[in-house]
Homo-oligomer: A and B are copies of this chain.
């Protein structure tokens, strides 16, 4: 409850501050909408869709238009501050870039095709794959943008009682 130490890692300031710095460094503008989007993504534990971001941003900064969320997310992605991932058929999902979080590895998730559940998995899972792609196909894999689809044990064992989505 110490207001002076909101985070366990004081050495890493605030990802939002760092992001703002980088926006300026790129010569782009820091606006209420963009800052709010960054804050919301920073506070979110995992992926957020554009719509979820819209809802949360409007709690803190009412009046921000849905279109602006899309444009802000797009701009932040171009600046490398936000990463977009596609999971299944659904809306695109966004998270802060690992570089802002001090993480060397991005968060990696698997999604169950049947029940739609999302689980986090070992971040280095695709390390070998990335190396092989670089060597054999001259292709630089973006592990964050990869959505691994399949089935969780619960659904794979023929459990049909799950909500199909």
Contact = CB atoms under 8 A, between A and B. Distances in A.
Interface of A: 86, 88-89, 92, 110, 112-113, 119, 121-122, 125-126, 128-129, 132-133, 136-142, 145-153, 156
Nearest to A136: B122
22 contacts: A86-B86, A86-B89, A86-B147, A110-B133, A112-B139, A113-B145, A119-B137, A119-B139, A121-B139, A122-B136, A126-B129, A129-B148, A139-B151, A139-B152, A140-B151, A140-B152, A140-B156, A141-B150, A146-B146, A146-B148, A146-B149, A147-B147
B152 A138 contact: yes
A150 B156 contact: no
A130 to B, nearest CB: 8
Nearest to A144: B149
B147 A139 contact: no
Q: Which 7 A-B pairs have the closest CB atoms?
A: A145-B149, A138-B153, A141-B150, A142-B150, A140-B151, A140-B150, A140-B156
